[in-house]
Amino acid sequence: MGTCYTVFLQDDFDWSYLNRTKETTLKEFAQEFKVTKLGEWSGWAVFDFEKTPPYIDYVKTRILNYCDACYYTADTEAGLLKKLV
């Protein structure tokens, strides 16, 4: 059994400044990182990374292609949010 992670993407313009829709951006994110979307609200989207740690170099360098900031929490840390980028 490993640690599961939840990632919170934050975007100041709710993804509307890109030449694609919010839905397309979040779908592409989920496909690239093989994650499940848990929910979204104005300017935020939440994804389940399961046992893939979000702080590995590949994720950290690619994640800003989809959002302005990213936070994460581990299921072992009782909801403590940490800033990823």
pLDDT tens track for 34-68 = 999 999 999 999 999 888 788 888 888 899 899 99
Q: Is the dihedral of CA 5, 10, 11, 15 positive or negative?
A: positive
Evaluate whether 37 touches 46 at the Cβ level (below 8 Å): yes
Residue of 24, 34, 26, 78 whose CA lies nearest to 54: 34
CA distances, 68 to each of 2, 12, 24, 75, 78 (Å): 28, 7, 16, 24, 25
Segment 17-38 mean pLDDT: 91
The verdict on pTM exceeding 0.85 is yes
CATH of segment(s) 5-83:
3.30.70
